[in-house]
């Protein structure tokens, strides 16, 4: 009885807040869904902190950004922002005072989001309890910390735009394109960035870097591309983080856990439809792996074989065939990719798919901190060599 009473009180509070800001409950619910699609909490909620109160550290080659408070608090959040100012932030990359936002906020993607959807997100954020929290200033390189220079960056690399449907494509494809290009901001991770932090030329096919992980190319079925996948399987991977023997780990596991698993089946299927239709492009190598002499290679392979037998074989099988507890390594895209950075991350720090409705008890890869750098390099060399 007490729990029902609390639920009624909570609902009343939401309705009262909505009324105070002139927003109807349907628009607020729509805004909550869209905020999930954009994974706003992924940056604007610090670990263990209150929702959307900011403070999360976002590392970059230019220093550390601290995500701002976007609750309705008037002093430290966006409580004084109008709907127009919020629209300008996401569409034009402008703060409330008109100064440019740092592109750590993916407004180059959000600029494609329709005004009605931005207004719904604004209504949702304004409906939440305000949180008084001042976050630390950014810790940036001196040449980046001068915010007026961001006007030059925007002049060079940013053009406000809007999503336009392709009449030659299906409604499902267009819905997927809208979500992937806009709120999903997939290219913010999966496209390589140039020396100035802007998205580079997608024609190279190369993916990007996120917190030490490689975000594989969506243009190559040898990396993260979904070309040739049955749509149901592609949608399952996006929504559940696992589809058959394929699973996501690292930062993508966070995206599935915080965002994609909460989207409707239709929207996830639309995203899969669009991603599966992307043109295939060969991934140009970013650099060369060090060349080893035959003696060095033989020594590394022998050590790698021993490390694999001692630490990996029980779960992954003597030939990498996998088991119920561990994915197969034979034919695994993460093993065969030219960039081996994710293998290093998984072996050294562990890898865990997200817990979702379709994968409620995921098996995880424990970290192997006890391996020396030489052993780590050797076992990865052995696994990759075995795959050719």
The DSSP code sequence of 44-85 is HB-TTS-TT-B--EEEETTEEEEPPP-SS-TTTSSTT--HHH
The CATH architecture that domain 294-386 belongs to is Orthogonal Bundle (1.10)
Distance CA 359, CA 78 (A): 37
pLDDT lower than 70: segments of the chain = 1-22, 286-290, 388
Distance CA 156, CA 150 (A): 10
Strands 63-66 and 213-215: unpaired
Distance CA 353, CA 363 (A): 7
pTM of the model: 0.90
The per-residue pLDDT for 282 is 87
Distance CA 304, CA 306 (A): 5
The per-residue pLDDT for 286 is 67
Per-residue CA distances from 258 to 28, 106, 251, 355, 356 (Å): 19, 17, 11, 10, 10
Domain spans, the chain? 21-145, 171-276, 294-386
Write the DSSP symbol of residue 203.
G
Q: Residues in the chain, how many?
A: 388
Q: With contact defined as beta carbons under 8 Å apart, do 174 and 156 qualify? A: no
φ and ψ at 364, to 5 degrees? Answer: -120, 160
Give the rounded distance of the alpha carbon of 214 from its chain centre: 11
Instruction: State the burial class of residue 84 (Cβ atoms within 10 Å of its Cβ: 0-12, 13-18, 19+).
Output: exposed
The per-residue pLDDT for 108 is 97
Distance CA 313, CA 323 (A): 10
The per-residue pLDDT for 20 is 45
What tokens does 280 get? 């295939």
What tokens does 314 get? 């029980």
Distance CA 42, CA 48 (A): 12
């Amino acid at each position: 009885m007490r729990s029902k009473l609390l639920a009624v009180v909570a609902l009343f509070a939401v309705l009262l807040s909505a009324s105070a800001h002139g927003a109807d409950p349907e628009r607020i619910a729509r805004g909550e869904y869209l905020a999930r699609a954009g994974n706003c909490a992924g940056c604007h909620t610090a670990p263990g902190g209150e929702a959307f109160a900011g403070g999360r550290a976002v590392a970059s080659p230019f220093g550390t950004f601290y995500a701002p408070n976007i609750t309705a608090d008037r002093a430290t959040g966006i409580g004084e922002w109008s709907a127009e100012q919020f629209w300008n932030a996401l569409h034009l990359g402008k703060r409330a005072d008109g100064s440019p936002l740092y592109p750590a906020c993916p407004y180059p993607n959000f600029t494609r989001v329709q005004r009605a959807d931005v207004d719904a997100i604004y209504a949702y954020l304004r409906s939440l309890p305000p949180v008084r929290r001042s976050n630390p200033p950014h810790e940036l390189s001196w040449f980046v910390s001068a915010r007026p220079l961001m006007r030059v960056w925007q002049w060079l690399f940013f053009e406000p735009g809007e999503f336009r449907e392709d009449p030659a494509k299906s409604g499902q494809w267009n819905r997927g394109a809208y979500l992937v290009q806009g709120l999903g901001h997939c290219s913010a991770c999966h496209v390589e960035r140039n020396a100035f932090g802007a998205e580079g030329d997608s024609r190279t096919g190369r993916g990007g870097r996120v917190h030490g992980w490689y975000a594989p190319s969506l243009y190559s079925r040898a990396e993260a591309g979904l070309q040739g996948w049955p749509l149901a399987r592609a949608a399952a991977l996006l929504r559940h983080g696992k589809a058959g023997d394929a699973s996501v780990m690292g930062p993508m596991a966070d995206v599935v856990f915080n965002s994609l698993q909460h989207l409707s089946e239709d929207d996830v299927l639309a995203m899969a439809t669009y991603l599966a239709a992307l043109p295939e492009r060969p991934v140009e190598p970013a650099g060369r792996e060090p060349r080893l002499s035959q003696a060095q290679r033989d020594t590394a392979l022998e050590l790698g074989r021993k490390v694999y037998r001692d630490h990996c074989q029980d779960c992954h099988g003597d030939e990498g065939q996998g088991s119920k507890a561990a994915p197969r390594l034979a034919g695994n895209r993460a093993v065969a990719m030219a960039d081996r950075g994710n293998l290093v991350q998984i072996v050294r720090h562990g890898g865990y798919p997200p817990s979702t409705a379709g994968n409620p008890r995921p098996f995880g890869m424990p970290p192997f901190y006890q391996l020396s750098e030489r052993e780590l390099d050797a076992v990865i060399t052995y696994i990759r060599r075995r795959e050719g």
